[in-house]
Amino acid sequence: MRYRGAYLTGVLAQLIWAASVIFSKDALQLLDPLSLVVARFILSVMLMFAIGMVVRHFRPSSSFALYRISKHDAMLFAAAGLLQPFLYFILEGYAIKLIVSPTMAEAFLSTIPLFALLISLLFMHEQITKKNIIGLLVCSIGVALLLFAGNTNFEIGSAIGVLCAFAAVLCAVFYSIILKLIPERYNTLTIVFHVQAFAVLFFIPTWLLVDLPDFATTWQSWLDSGMLGRAFADVLYLGVLASVCAFLMFCYTIRTLGVTRASAFNNITPAFTALLMLIFFGEQLPLLKWIGIVVITVGMFFAQRHEHNKLSE
């Protein structure tokens, strides 16, 4: 039952993050990438603090009660916060802005499972089965179909955007590894809150150096655009659902299933993004892209399978 819950939270987190790519793309018409991530994570940290303290008062044993962390473990939380959200979301923001299509951007970001598998084989002691590897490779074929099938124009955008996407992928992989190393005694909300709180400590001085000098001009352009309410709605979605709900769910998935198997869920994000683009923006999918979605689903099934002969013990 515990594993079924981890599968469900993994899928739901990817669905929320798939939609967040679209909301981010919309918000970036008005906000700079750094301003966007600072706003969303300040909002998420404030929300988690309020929830965590209320739950701690009424239900101290709940997974959503907020507690302090020990000084001994603070470096792990700080390192996780530095990698993701801080570096990951700055890099992802620039990748989404510089890469032409949200689906294309998400396809690059979906290489996280392959890098996670490589890192696990080289440095971790997780049990990885042949079926896990086959599943990840099948997922990769599905992502390739989703990305390239039916496209006559392979324009991607800035090469810097692609580099940002792959740098974000590496940050996400090492974040997952550090998250797995955090002691089991900490509940889910305590972990996510402190990781994001450390990230905010990195975000704020960076924002003060990069965006504050032009903030007066930027604020006036926000007011003149007439899009401020729309941008606020985007930030609300990103701060509440993408930065709180999805992070809590995927934290549980990683700590239950391990880095390699949890990272496999990233393969379905491009499929969700493509489906959402179809539903809300009418971006049509040719037959081969639908086949790609089916292949990703089949690959996900194999990526989560167990067998007795392990590749690593």
- Report if residue 312 sits inside a domain: no
- Mean pLDDT confidence for 41-56: 95
Read off the tokens for 96: 């989404």
- Report if residue 180 sits inside a domain: yes
Contacts of 65 (CB under 8 A, 6+ apart): 52, 55, 56, 59, 187, 189, 190
CB 11 within 8 A of CB 268: yes
- Cβ-in-10-Å burial (0-12, 13-18, 19+) of 57 comes to exposed
- Report if residue 154 sits inside a domain: yes
- Report if residue 310 sits inside a domain: no
**pLDDT tens digits, one per residue of 151-165:** 555 455 677 887 888
- Report if residue 175 sits inside a domain: yes
Which residue is associated with the tokens 């099948």?
A: 138
Question: In this predicted structure, which of 148-152, 191-195, 208-212, 256-260 has the lowest mean pLDDT?
Answer: 148-152
- Cβ-in-10-Å burial (0-12, 13-18, 19+) of 64 comes to middle
At 268 the pLDDT is 79
**pLDDT tens digits, one per residue of 236-261:** 999 999 999 999 999 999 888 887 77
Which residue is associated with the tokens 């124009």?
A: 153
What gap in Å lies between CA 170 and CA 173, rounded to an integer? 5
Q: Is the pTM of this model over 0.95?
A: no
Number of domains, the chain: 1
Q: Please give the residue range of the domain that contains residue 23.
A: 2-303
pLDDT score of 205 more than 90: yes
- The confidence band for 15, taking pLDDT boundaries of 50, 70 and 90, is very high
What gap in Å lies between CA 285 and CA 126, rounded to an integer? 37
